[in-house]
Structure 1
Amino acid sequence: MDRISALRNVEDALADFEAGDASLGDVEDRVLGVLRTYATEFEDGDLSAYRAIGDPRVEGIVVVADTEAAARERVAARVDASPEFRVEPAD
């Protein structure tokens, strides 16, 4: 999913909420789904999405980086710690 498609899907979810056709919970689920799809399909030249696995503090965090090592650094910086974890491509 490209950025424009993601934004359109979020806009559609918000429009449904404003029209009363969707509850807040429905919109949250739709937007979360859009973000997860966008993140896991992200490919921009040398950048790829990586998902953290292992320590509960980082489990499921998805970051975009050019290397696995850079992805580990970004995840560790998000939790301001050095937990034991690994990253793998988020596809």
Structure 2
Amino acid sequence: MDRISALRNVEDALATFEAGDCSLSELESDVRGILRTYAADFEGEMQAYRANGAGATDGLVVLAASAPEARDRVAALVEEAGDFTVSPVE
């Protein structure tokens, strides 16, 4: 999914919410799904990596050109990262 498609999908989800056709939790779920799809289908030099570990790192997804870069990005986002691994999102 490219950026324009992701933005259009988010816009459609917002319109559905504004029309009263879904709840806030449904909107949040839809937008989360759109963003995860965008990250997983990201085209270019970078790809999505998911962190697996304890606390705030677990499940965190970042875009990076390599696994070591992804580890650095996760560590920069989480104050006390602790032990964690990263793996490509498929």
Give TM-score scaled by structure 2 length: 0.91
CA RMSD of aligned residues (A): 1.2
Deviation (angstroms), 1:82: 4.2
Structure 1 residues without counterparts, runs of 5 or longer:
none
Structure 2 residues without counterparts, runs of 5 or longer:
none
| Alpha-carbon distance change, 53 to 21 in structure 1, aligned in 2, over 3 angstroms | same
Using the alignment, how far apart are the partners of 2:28 and 2:80 within structure 1? Answer: 29
Residue in 1 that maps onto 2:32: 32
Which aligned segments of 4 or more residues in structure 1 are displaced greater than 4 angstroms? none
Residue in 2 that maps onto 1:9: 9
Identity %: 57
Amino acid at match of 2:51: A
Residue in 2 that maps onto 1:65: 64
Q: How does 1:44-83 map to 2 (within 5 A)?
A: 44=44, 46-83=45-82
Give the conservation status (yes or no) of the 8 Å contact 2:48–2:63: yes
How big is each residue's C-alpha offset from its partner over 1:57-86, in whole Å with a ceiling of 9 and x where there is no partner?
Answer: 201101111111110000011112341111
How big is each residue's C-alpha offset from its partner over 1:17-72, in whole Å with a ceiling of 9 and x where there is no partner?
Answer: 1111122121111111101111122121x211111012232011011111111100
Q: Secondary structure at the match of 1:57?
A: helix
